[in-house]
Amino acid sequence: MITASPEHTRPVIAHAHPMALPHATAGQVLAVHALRERLPNEQSAALFESRDLEVTRLVLLSGKSLPPHKVPGEITIHCIEGLLSVDVDGRTSRL
C-alpha cells in the first residue's frame, strides 16, 4: 500500500502496468518538478510507456492511499515532494 503522510499534500511519480491514463505524445516536453500550490487541482497522468516501462506521475493527496495491488515486473517510486509510506512484503519504507 502507498499512503501520503497526513502532514503533507504531495505527489509521487511511479511506474506500473497497466494504467488507463492518457500518455504524452512523442517529443512532448514534460515537467516533473514539484507541483506545490497547483497540487490540489492536478490529476495523475501517464508520462511514458514502452514495452518494458511505464512512467506515471501519481498525485496522492495528504492522508490518501492506493489500495494494495501487484504489478508485473519491477516498480520504482521517486517521491518528488512530501513524505510517503510504502508497504511492500510486510515492510514499510518512508520516502
Q: What is the mean pLDDT of residues 26-45?
A: 84
* CB-count burial class (<10 Å; 0-12, 13-18, 19+) for 14: buried
Could you give the number of structural domains in the chain?
Answer: 1
Q: What is the mean pLDDT of residues 8-28?
A: 54
Q: pLDDT averaged over the chain? A: 77
State the CB neighbour count (10 A cutoff) for residue 91: 7
Confidence of residue 92 (pLDDT cuts 50, 70, 90): very high
Q: How far apart are CA 68 and CA 90, in angstroms?
A: 12
Q: What is the mean pLDDT of residues 6-30?
A: 55
Task: Give the pLDDT of residue 4.
Answer: 61
Q: Domain range for residue 69?
A: 2-94
